[in-house]
Chain A
């Protein structure tokens, strides 16, 4: 039962008035007796607590309170839900990835078929996915509707706003039922048949990002425990031949993260996986890749294979001869002008003029990252070109008081200058210090490497010449992945790259609305079609009876 005008229940406050009047009224009652002399010898006796209570209690008071209560309920317009035969039925079946819980698709098909069989029709069945689509368009043929339901299978993506699915069923319907595992907040006027969320362990995050120092990468994994007990979860991260294993202890309802350093190559696909046997395996695996986010480099000046190798190690690099490019690397030359991010490697440019190399002086690393990662005691053979430090430059490394490496932001783009000559220091070129030094310079020039991680159903625009390989098919241009996975591709130059596609986050973790978790129902049940029967007349009759009883009682007393 519900109330059409809940404010009518405020009438119950009148109880206070009735009680107040009752307690304020004169309590002395006049009674005529046949023989007062029999009462005259009776002394005043103390009353027991029970007797006092009984004295306060009057049947007429009870009837008055009951009358006021009935009046309050009648004013609130009580409505009783009652079953009624169903005519037309529109079914909205949640087709988001979270419906892939073990046995869930069959359960949805059975529930929907039961509703269709119980109704006279017409029927319509809509798959609530992104985009939504008809499983059975509005029809008067029950078999057609049942065939549509039999075709129901969730997608691997998220679902669209409910309104878009409802747009498929315009007009008047006796019953619009939504079968879903996460009831949308504010779905008023619809019959929502909720299905239980599975007890689940889910990988909620997996990414690899450059360290702030530019010296390497850091992988991050987050696992949420949506079961009712603490879990010890094995986590495995794979990238090529690299494997990382760890165990996470996660209390119920909480999320735990794990990060670890990674210094391997970046042109690989990364896979994180948790070992669990929960009924929703789709969220036990996540993927990551740097994708096709290749840094296009224009090479100017002399050839330097050590520098090329160090650049490749720093990220996905492709060398281009024509615009556009992301980075210009000038090696032992003199640039006519700055055009975008530029690495001046023993090179000069307008406003930055290098002198002849000298090999004396102590090393000094104002940049903390370099100070921590480089072993400068081995850099004795490295010489330095004296250079006048431009105004606003940020010095990373010094020798003998001269700036050895610095960065500066010019109107034409950021510039990193390496004024060091490694010609007489082969051992430094072969040491790990060299690629770390180069990566630090590049990280100062470019934003973090673009990720190749996407969600199912999300449009991916491939760069010109790049293609994703799906079996025998090569997809170019734009591509909308339909299932999670790690997809291989190749650039126009033939370089391999990976695109990671994951389940949308909302399909893993229940929806939240206004900071409140949507309640997870325990079981899915099909409620019969219902109508609301106004009850105020029955209440009014009850009130009349109570008033008559009260009147009879008052008459009897009188």
Chain B
């Protein structure tokens, strides 16, 4: 645990609470749903209908209006937290390494879920599901998850579509899905994210890029090698070429952002240099 998050960071994270505007999930839990049900949170009045619980009639309103009105309360549901962590080879690049930041962020989120007494699980993937820790509660589960996070290695190609679709097809219990990836996948990500949405999951896209991805300080004659595919290309890294790269990356990220906006998916972009606590605050303050 100490390897991923320090004591100070854990103390700062202890004040956070995982909340979602429209949490999925069926069981009774700690997340207020927009649907009505049984909780202490008052939602509305509605006319009494036969069969309604007589204890829900608001007698004060009847005395004033001479009408039988029933109190309606918000429903509190349980939403498990699924952390999807990209462990492809590209996540092993950068200074600091992107996978390192993503693992620490995942640890921070799972710690917050643990504090909220939510279930949390981990799915590591590259071109397929590499490993999975089903959502559970408890300290020992948190320790297991932290241990797993600290042993992850970046390797293989990224295929968000295949991996996420594969996972969604299992019909897992709806929950909150944080997809932590660099999203630098030539094959796209649309199908994978859509598969999660179709599975009635609440999705958040967290893109992690290294400072070298954002502004590569390359110069001179280069042989650029794709870390995942092994393909290469020769290029003279001039000022103009670097400008064009930045423009291409911005367009790629803009497509991600637009897609997320259209579907009401929260989208975040972090540099791997960001503190995981700070990133966690940004993620949960929405």
Contact = CB atoms under 8 A, between A and B. Distances in A.
Contact of B233 (A29, A32, A36, A55): A36
Contact of B186 (A37, A42, A44, A55): A37
Interface string B240-280: 11001100110010000000000000000000000000000
A42 B226 contact: no
B233 A47 contact: no
Contacts of B236: 44-45, 47
A28 B221 contact: yes
Q: Among the interface residues B219, B226, B233, B252, which one has the most CB atoms of the partner chain A within 10 A?
A: B226
A60 to B, nearest CB: 13
A33 B238 contact: no
B184 A31 contact: no
B61 interface: no
A40 B186 CA distance: 12
A492 B248 CA distance: 120
A39 B238 contact: no
B238 A38 contact: no
B64 to A, nearest CB: 66
A38 B222 contact: no
A37 B90 CA distance: 13
Contacts of B240: 45
B12 interface: no
A43 B248 CA distance: 12
B220 A39 contact: no
B241 A45 contact: yes
Q: What range describes how many residues of A lie at the interface?
A: 20 to 34
Contacts, number: 92
A473 interface: no
A29 B252 contact: no
A517 interface: no
A41 B248 contact: yes
Contacts of B235: 39, 42, 44
Interface in A8-66: 27-48, 51, 54-55
B172 interface: no
A28 B233 CA distance: 11
A59 to B, nearest CB: 11
Given A38-B252, A39-B235, A45-B238, A31 B222 contact: yes
Contact of B241 (A27, A28, A42): A42
Nearest to A30: B223
Contacts of B213: 34-35
B225 interface: yes
Contacts of A37: 186, 226
Contacts of A32: 93, 224-227
Interface string B207-238: 00010010010111111111111011111101
Nearest to B231: A36
A29 B223 contact: yes
Nearest to B248: A38
Nearest to B246: A38
Nearest to A556: B95
B28 interface: no
A35 B241 contact: no
Contacts of A31: 218, 222-225
A34 B233 contact: no
Interface in A59-102: none
Q: Among the interface residues A34, A40, A51, which one has the most CB atoms of the partner chain B within 10 A?
A: A34
A39 B245 contact: yes
Given A34-B213, A44-B235, A54 B223 contact: no
Contacts of B78: none
Interface in B173-215: 182, 184, 186, 210, 213
A28 B245 contact: no
Given A42-B235, A45-B238, A29 B244 contact: no
B284 interface: no
Contact of B224 (A33, A44, A45): A33
Contact of B220 (A27, A34, A38, A46): A27
B227 A34 contact: yes
A39 B210 contact: no
Nearest to A36: B226
Q: Among the interface residues A31, A35, A37, A42, which one has the most CB atoms of the partner chain B within 10 A?
A: A35
A219 to B, nearest CB: 84
Contacts of A41: 244, 248
A34 B236 CA distance: 18
A475 to B, nearest CB: 93
B184 A29 contact: no
A37 B249 CA distance: 10
A34 B238 contact: no
A178 B223 CA distance: 70
B239 interface: yes
Contacts of A38: 184, 245, 248-249, 252
Contacts of B238: 45-48, 51
A34 B184 contact: yes
Contacts of B227: 32-34
Contact of B226 (A35, A44, A54): A35
A28 B219 CA distance: 11
A40 to B, nearest CB: 6
A42 B248 contact: yes
A43 to B, nearest CB: 8
Contacts of A28: 221-223, 234
A526 B240 CA distance: 63
A47 B222 CA distance: 14
B210 A42 contact: no
A503 B112 CA distance: 107
A33 B226 contact: yes
A33 B216 contact: yes
A556 to B, nearest CB: 10
Nearest to B234: A28
Contact of A34 (B93, B218, B231): B93
A35 B184 contact: yes
Given A34-B182, A36-B226, A51-B239, A42 B244 contact: yes
A280 B241 CA distance: 77
Interface in B16-53: none
B186 A35 contact: yes
A289 B229 CA distance: 110
Interface of B: 90, 93-94, 98, 182, 184, 186, 210, 213, 216, 218-229, 231-236, 238-241, 244-245, 248-249, 252
The 8 closest A-B pairs by CB, nearest first: A36-B226, A35-B184, A34-B90, A45-B240, A37-B186, A42-B244, A32-B227, A38-B248
13 contacts: A28-B223, A29-B223, A31-B218, A31-B224, A32-B226, A34-B98, A36-B226, A38-B252, A39-B235, A42-B241, A44-B235, A48-B239, A55-B221
Interface of A: 27-48, 51, 54-55
Given A38-B252, A43-B244, 11 more contacts: A28-B221, A30-B222, A30-B223, A30-B225, A31-B218, A32-B227, A33-B225, A36-B229, A42-B245, A42-B248, A45-B241
